Structure 1
């Protein structure tokens, strides 16, 4: 495709887009994101103020005084944008790293960076110095806005030439928020091209070196107008909450893009574990909840022990890993809510297969979101018949664009994005998850989907969490190994192993039953709850 003239004076991101022949085929944009020139921060904030007025609540926090109206948010965003350009020398196209807990100020910094025409690189408060150094090197980051509570690791990263500006220290003369208080109140946003890069999101790092995924201004609006606008269908009166931080695109959508596009409000929680989410949902009357399947399961355990008023919920969204049908049904029985399952990817910004309301079928992910297409293909890229497993291939208005990374050729083939998931397309058009392609265990010639064995284990009342991986074996090639977190009071040992093995065999073919059980206190996960099976495979030397 032919790119429009860029507003970026720092052309690094456009210079490092993949070659055109490595791009996926893009489908037409929704009408609201199809203009040649647009700044997505203006569309999310200023245009929303134009539609609904400045007095609606935009952000809440757990603190009683933590309410920001849309007018207050716009004023603070504009003042920060002035500081970025007039004081710090940020020019359009510069990469600005954002780091801190999930707060309204972090969200305001994200919007200000985009209004200034720069590129937001939001990382996690949990990232360590070595990880930060790699991401800054890949994205050639020159500026950083950092919550003072999270600055030590960033300083320790010793990024050459990085100018760090902190916020949250009222006593510091150069604190970003003090500077913003002295800045002018209105800012004329840079008239970016719709296909100027707005953000670089790094993959969550379940394996290997992180990949920087570049997304345009129009992409931000496209995911808001496809998944959110046509499946989730938020309302201006909604209050969103999520366990996912803004450094992950799942949280960026659920806490910033989707609520602002709809004129709704987001509850921004610095601590958002399952128990905190339940308490916050009950206290603040959350109506739209974004979290991972594991969190729903842990919240079910908490709901069995304590009563929470969740009557305000009307939308519960799950992504990040497979949602077992048993978890879906248990949540429905306990809360009355149907979980909106979905699959998304950092490479594609947000969810592209899903279903809501009466279209939901437990045990499946759903159907392609309007504006997207999906199919299941073999290793050569040819479609496989319905009912047979293969690789999931998708395309839509957003596509994978890695930042100067040869793995672009692996992810995009023949114009389709290959997500690395094994799926089955049912004859009725619904897509059912089988396994991550690298989580398929081949043992004695049998293909064994690890998540299927996990789901069987999770149905046992003594199992809180389970992860299944394949480990090397001289005879069978690989064997099935299950790492299990037991419910409190259940003793690990031979009797428990025998009971779990028999339980799985009663539900699955015997060859799928784990040959090894390892009982652990916790499973390795990313900050958003995504299971890191590769760490279990790497620990095979510690197996009994």
Structure 2
């Protein structure tokens, strides 16, 4: 895949200006990457999978080709064709990988979904996307929710069960159907795809309102060369782990496209409940070389005795999904000697801003723009921000649209126009840029707190609070105040061994005053046992604000 991994660079500036990637009009990752690797190096490892029960499986590219061909034959046999929508609710099962490739081969649209969806969530998605088939893992709750949703889903024709009992009324058995299919599905058996065809349809996590349908075309995988090779720094012959369930876009960021093109195998640890000690044992046992996880995972890892695990194979670690608190960076570095390198993107994008290898990390900073991403910060009046000014992160698309950029919100031109107009995409996130060109995340546009003329980003206050040993997790929001417009409120989950009290609240307030500018300190502190979150695990600050107003 040398034509996709364009080489090494001596500096960030060289990388930014010289990196180029051509996208063939009919590019299809399943044929042009996977099948080609299978032909050239059939025994090369594609996937290393294991689960909590001690089962394991290694799949080569030759096997990945055959399995995906069988899936494509099965799909075509039952009537799935180019453009049809197929929902995948497969957790971390290894079948996800060759099923996704089989969908690519027939030109169908994959709709990855988390197993946490309720029946109502599935109905909404089925109706909005006109889902024709659901392929689901045989989790009793998942199967029950799909069955409950089916009567209200007129487009749904096929339900397919993975890794379950031999038969279940109304369901096809995936293993049996795939085994009975032909082991070869030539490219000539399917329609060629174009840049207008949709390969992936992701529903956003929906922190406000109904989730939007983010559409990506068949060229999208190529954008993740930068994600894998130049941010995650996967290595040829290495083994990469990104902690993500297959229902979220983070899975294709870190568990298939860019990693395989850059020469790395993908490691999958299939678990239901996260346990830091178990994850560390897997990193040690399988000698994972590169690792990507959200800050929450690192927060749990640094509470363990990392010195008791052999992590010598681990060479590079990155972090994304939410801003990284500097305290977590420093503790992890102290324990492992590895620098955490942050990255920023959205379901709509590939990695847009990151601390690339040539950049010295600034703990808490996202880094600098990726090649092809013309990032500009825009203030409330529509003007470009100066150094140090907070503005909305926008991506210019009038001169060049980054490879991997979304095609718009499916069947919703109004929502697409609302965020992507006049040659510019508005991310809804705010940040500021320092004198060295590094970007620092502030918060969602709606989350920025305006108090007595100051603009306060929730992340900077949360980072200050996280340095206190009593704080396990926190969310900072603005609440109405008759004198100041808004004041800062902190909703705090305490670490084990601490109990809520007025004295502790005062201590946390004084701590924030010492760590950051005093005007940012939380004038209101509420202790809770847990924070409200979306099904993707993101804190729902909007819910915290609404609950406060209702009270």
TM-score strictly above 0.5: yes
Give the C-alpha shift of residue 358 in structure 1: 4.8
8 Å Cα contact 1:132/1:154 also seen in 2 = yes
Q: Contact between 2:27 and 2:193, CA under 8 Å: does it hold in 1?
A: yes
CA distance, structure 2, for counterparts of residue 512 and residue 32 of structure 1: 44
Is the contact between residue 478 and residue 489 of structure 2 (CA under 8 Å) also seen in structure 1? yes
**How many Å separate the matches in 1 of 2:320 and 2:367?**
12
SS at match of 2:255: helix
Give the C-alpha shift of residue 225 in structure 1.
2.2
How far is the alpha carbon of 1:436 from its aligned partner? 1.8
1:119 aligns with 2:127: no
Alignment partner, residue 263 of structure 2: 263
Aligned to 2:49: 60
Superposition deviation, residue 341 in structure 1: 0.3
Aligned CA distance change for structure 1 residues 259 and 67 (closer, same or farther; 3 Å):
same
What corresponds to 2:393 in structure 1?
392
Tell me the equivalent position of 1:402.
409
Query: What RMSD over aligned residues (CA atoms) do the two structures have, in Å?
Result: 2.2
Q: Relative contact order (alpha carbons < 8 A, sep ≥ 6): 1 or 2 greater?
A: 1
Residue 37 (str. 1) matches residue 37 (str. 2): no
Partner secondary structure for residue 397 of structure 1: coil
The CA distance in 2 between the partners of 1:122 and 1:307, in whole Å, is 37
C-alpha deviation, 1:491, in angstroms? 1.5
For 1:127-146, list aligned pairs within 5 A.
127-146=117-136
Change (3 A) 1:398 1:101: closer
Which residue is equivalent to 2:419?
Answer: 411
Mapping of 1:496-511 within 5 angstroms? 496-511=504-519
Matched ranges for 1:362-373 at <5 A = 362-373=363-374
Q: CA deviation at 1:75?
A: 1.1
Task: Verify the 8 A CA contact 1:471 1:481 in the aligned structure 2.
Answer: yes
Q: Measure the CA separation in 2 of the matches of 1:302 and 1:132.
A: 38
Q: Is the 8 A contact 1:322 1:451 kept in 2?
A: yes
Query: SS in structure 1 opposite 2:393?
Result: strand
CA distance in 2, matches of 1:53, 1:111: 16
Deviation at 1:518, TM superposition (A): 1.3
SS at 2:304's partner residue? Answer: helix
CA 1:274/1:242 → structure 2, altered by over 3 Å: closer, same or farther? farther
Equivalents in 1 of 2:403, 2:338: separation in Å? 30
Q: Secondary structure at the match of 1:346?
A: coil
Find 2:464's aligned residue among 445, 456, 461.
456
Match of 1:22 in 2: none
Per the alignment, residue 84 of structure 1 pairs with 75
Query: In structure 2, the residue corresponding to 1:422 is in which secondary structure?
Result: strand
8 Å Cα contact 2:534-2:540 kept in structure 1: yes
Is this contact kept in 2: 1:29–1:397, CA < 8 A?
A: no
Residue 347 of structure 2 corresponds to: 346
Q: Indicate the residue corresponding to 2:399 in structure 1.
A: none
**Structure-2 residue corresponding to 1:151:** 143
Query: Who is 2:177 aligned against?
Result: 179
Deviations, residues 386-419 of structure 1 (Å, cap 9, x unaligned): 2211111124223341112222122113212211
CA contact (8 A) 2:127 2:155 kept: no
Offset from partner CA, 1:252-298 (integer Å, 9 cap, x none): 22112222223322222232625143232122221222211122112
In 2: Cα distance, 1:478 partner to 1:415 partner: 34
Matched with 2:433 is: 425
Partner of 1:535: 543
| Cα deviation, residue 446, structure 1 | 2.3
| TM-score using structure 2 length | 0.88
Cross-structure match for 2:13: none
Bigger mean CA deviation after superposition, 158-167 or 116-125: 158-167
- 8 Å CA contact 1:227–1:370 kept in 2: the answer is no
Name the counterpart of 1:20. none
How far 1:528 sits from its partner (Å)?
4.3
Q: How many residues align?
A: 513
TM-score, normalised with respect to structure 1: 0.89
Cα distance between partner residues in 1 of 2:17 and 2:111: 27
Q: Distance in 2 between matches of 1:79 and 1:172?
A: 20
CA contact (8 A) 1:147 1:166 kept: yes
